[in-house]
Amino acid sequence: MQYFVVMIDYGRRGREAIVDPEITRREVISRVASGEYRNISFIHEIVDSSVDDITAEILAEAAVPEIQAADADLQASRFDHARDLRKHEPV
């Protein structure tokens, strides 16, 4: 028997383990890529009595881009700068 465990972290609200014996590896990848599964703590593949952590493999196959915090801050900085410039424009 083979199945996957996807642990989702909701922060203060806790965690949820999604376990569905009928779901395939392809379906897990599809759900990760579509954004249905977010804030993933780990993904384990259970085959008979062995457990493998396949989180990195699934994320790589789903091609989930990692957004660096610095990139988001740069965009926010541009918006803040533009707003500050508008404050000092003569009316």
pLDDT in tens, 25-75: 999 999 999 989 989 999 999 999 899 999 999 999 998 566 555 555 666
- DSSP state, 63? T
Of the CA atoms within 13 Å of residue 18, those in its CB half-sphere come to 20
Supply the pLDDT for residue 81: 73
What tokens does 89 get?
């424009």
- DSSP state, 23? -
Over residues 18-31, mean pLDDT:
93
Supply the pLDDT for residue 90: 76
61 lies in which domain range? 2-87
Supply the pLDDT for residue 67: 59
What's the total number of domains in the chain?
1
Letter for the amino acid at 26? R
Supply the pLDDT for residue 89: 77
Query: Which residues 6+ apart lie within 8 Å of 45 measured at CB?
Result: 2, 3, 4, 25, 51, 52, 54
Supply the pLDDT for residue 29: 94
Measured N-to-C along each axis, helices 25-34 and 55-62 cross at an angle, to the nearest 10 degrees, of 60
